[in-house]
């Protein structure tokens, strides 16, 4: 149902969330006003995308797709930073 904010985390996303000390509530907050940074429609594991959202002032990257139960599937979640990211929107070369 609309407005229920249903999503599930993969085991990998749960592990990354704990490693980066990201709370589930922060993921929910980041998803509310997120923007798509990269779209992966042809990923062999299923269509997915990388989104950027914020929890308070902290940027959070979330790779998500669609679970079999139609919920949002959180594949991984992390705080963007060096060496992979120059800033929240710019991938390092």
- 32-80 per-position pLDDT tens digit: 999 999 999 998 888 999 999 999 999 999 999 998 888 999 999 999 9
Bridge partner residues of 65 (DSSP): 48, 73
pLDDT band at 4 (very low <50, low <70, confident <90, very high): low
Q: Is 68 helix (H, G, I), strand (E, B) or coil?
A: coil
| Contact of 44 with 55, CB cutoff 8 Å | no
For residue 45, what pLDDT is reported? 80
- Lookup result for tokens 């993921």: 27
Q: Is 49 helix (H, G, I), strand (E, B) or coil?
A: strand
d(CA 30, CA 60): 7
The CB density around residue 37, as the number of other CB atoms within 10 Å, is 17
- Condensed to tens digits (0 to 9), the pLDDT of residues 26-41 reads 999 999 999 999 999 9
């Amino acid at each position: 149902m609309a407005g229920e904010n249903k999503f599930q985390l993969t085991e990998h996303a749960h592990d990354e969330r704990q490693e980066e000390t990201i709370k589930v509530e922060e993921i929910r907050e980041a998803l509310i006003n997120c923007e798509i940074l990269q779209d992966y429609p042809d990923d062999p594991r299923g269509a997915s995308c990388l989104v950027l959202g914020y929890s308070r002032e902290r940027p959070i990257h979330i790779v998500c797709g669609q679970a079999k139960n139609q919920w949002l599937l959180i594949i991984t979640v992390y705080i963007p930073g060096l060496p992979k990211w120059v800033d929240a929107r710019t991938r390092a070369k």
